[in-house]
Amino acid sequence: MTQHIILATGAIFGMLSVIFGAFGAHALKKILSSEQLQSFEVGVKYQMYHAIVLLALGLNPEYTTSAIHVCFTLGIILFSFSIYGLILSEAKGKKMRFLGPITPIGGLLLVTGWLLLLLNVL
């Protein structure tokens, strides 16, 4: 796993996090309930937190592995993006319920990424 790929992944997720955060704060504020908006913001926060982790790992390649990169990348996609899909589909009146079980799988991948990082550092 090259350092450049990890850095690019972190940068893409960081950029998208800012875009989605602004979209939520401005465009979605008018159509989402406060509870829905809070859930959307959870997805944005977790995406940004893990984008920053990917950037740190890209700058410190001795602490990372392909497995860690994959866990964080898939975890962000499954966790945050399933939240976005759930909230946006619910706001449109057609909640995509199949996304509900995907969110915890993404969370489990994020936790696994952290565990693998811990084991790699030790």
DSSP annotation of 101 reads: T
pTM score of the predicted model? 0.92
Q: Count the Cβ atoms, other than its own, within 10 Å of residue 108.
A: 14
The whole-angstrom separation of Cα 118 and Cα 115 is 5
Average pLDDT over all residues of the chain: 95
Residue 39 banded pLDDT, cuts 50, 70, 90? very high
Q: Which of 42, 27, 18, 39 is nearest to 95 (CA)?
A: 39
Tens-digit pLDDT profile for residues 9-22: 999 999 999 999 99
